[in-house]
Amino acid sequence: MARHVALITGASSGIGAEFARQLAARGLDLVLVARDEARLSALAAELREEHGVTAEVMPADLVDDTQRRVVEQRLRAGVDFLVNNAGFGNHGDFVDLDIEAEDAEVRLNVLAVVRLTHAALAPMIDRGKGAVVNVSSVAGLVPGLPNPTYGASKAFVTSFSESLHEQMRPHGVRVMALCPGYTHTEFHARAGIDTSSSPDLLWLDVEDVVRAALKDLAAGRAVSVPGAVYKAITVLTRLAPRSLARRTAGRLRRGAMKV
Ligand code: NAP
């Protein structure tokens, strides 16, 4: 019987590396994508050794059109599982941010997700099965949070995934948005975000985030929000008028900045 293959973007650290570990433990062969080839190779070697899977390393900067197209080609050849996880957030007031860095954020968080999903779906539809998990964020649920571009990019990913969830259902292909809250990874250090005053209660571990995501995917959910605290925040946000949620988030933000 042919073995199942998962392609994971942003597999060199954090949530993506944990998807690679948990999917390898379930016997899936892997294609690991990120920019840092040395880290991908080290992870691939670890997973081959521990789980006896094959692990292909595909270094690519997904902001770059030419490099991203190579990954699109690999997806068109067919995979069973795509995790669109690579992403980052610039931190600060929008007008103060470097517009080229904002451009890169949209290209990675939005454009790459759309193009890689498109490339992966046709062969999945032909086979009548497959799964796509798009890593979004609770930051996409409410406007007014620290970085407008990041929040909007994640709102896009969640809405895109929910629509595709319905479109793909008749084809036997599952599409789900994963919306984590604060998770211990390299994300905040890369963004230069000081998390020292964020309460412990809000922090999730990658193991729990990925375990919850795979459970929710198996249950056929369109959106996965790991952790009881974030589930509660999500419900409250949906119940509150959007204007109230926006103003509250804005006040919290101004309070945090002491403006
Ligand atoms: P992370 O540890 O910083 O991992 C980000 C991954 O994306 C790395 O593997 C990085 O690898 C890769 N990446 C970054 N830019 C790339 C590019 N141009 N091309 C290809 N790969 C690139 O952060 P993480 O928290 O695991 O982030 C994963 C996803 O979770 C992101 O989409 C993020 O928005 C989302 N998320 C995170 C949190 C959180 O609190 N951590 C919460 C909600 C959502 P290289 O540097 O090797 O390219």
Amino acid letter, residue 158: T
Q: So what's the pLDDT on residue 258?
A: 40
Q: Whose CA is nearest to atom 31 of ligand 1?
A: 87
pTM of the predicted protein model: 0.96
**Is residue 2 predicted with pLDDT exceeding 80?**
no
Q: Whose CA is nearest to atom 23 of ligand 1?
A: 187
Could you tell me if 158 and 113 are in contact, meaning their C-beta atoms sit under 8 angstroms apart? no
Binning pLDDT at 50, 70 and 90, where does residue 256 land?
A: low
Tell me, using a 6 A CB cutoff, whether residue 87 lines ligand 1: yes
Binning pLDDT at 50, 70 and 90, where does residue 144 land?
A: low
Binning pLDDT at 50, 70 and 90, where does residue 248 land?
A: confident
Q: So what's the pLDDT on residue 253?
A: 66
Is 154 considered catalytic here?
yes
What mean pLDDT value characterizes the chain?
94
Tokens 């000081």 -> residue? 194
Q: So what's the pLDDT on residue 163?
A: 98
**Is residue 115 predicted with pLDDT exceeding 90?**
yes
Q: So what's the pLDDT on residue 1?
A: 59
Q: So what's the pLDDT on residue 257?
A: 45
Substitution site in 142, 156, 187 for ligand 1 pocket (most atoms within 8 Å of beta carbon):
187
Q: What is the mean pLDDT of residues 70-81?
A: 98
Q: How far apart are CA 80 and CA 115, in angstroms?
A: 17
Tell me, using a 6 A CB cutoff, whether residue 186 lines ligand 1: yes
Angstrom distances, CA of residue 79 to CA of 117, 132, 168, 206, 246: 11, 10, 16, 24, 39
Is 150 considered catalytic here?
yes
Binning pLDDT at 50, 70 and 90, where does residue 145 land?
A: low
The active-site residue out of 154, 182, 215, 230 is 154
Q: Return the higher-pLDDT residue of 249 and 15.
A: 15
**Is residue 130 predicted with pLDDT exceeding 50?**
yes
pLDDT in tens, 191-239: 988 888 888 999 999 999 999 999 999 999 999 999 999 999 899 888 8
Q: What is the mean pLDDT of residues 40-68?
A: 98
Q: How far apart are CA 132 and CA 63, in angstroms?
A: 20
Q: So what's the pLDDT on residue 237?
A: 84
pLDDT in tens, 155-180: 999 999 999 999 999 999 999 999 99
Q: How far apart are CA 44 and CA 124, in angstroms?
A: 25
Q: What is the 13 CA–ligand 1 centroid distance (Å)?
A: 7
Q: So what's the pLDDT on residue 259?
A: 31
Q: What is the mean pLDDT of residues 247-255?
A: 72
Tokens of 172: 């036997």
Alpha helices in 130-205 (DSSP H): 148-168, 187-191
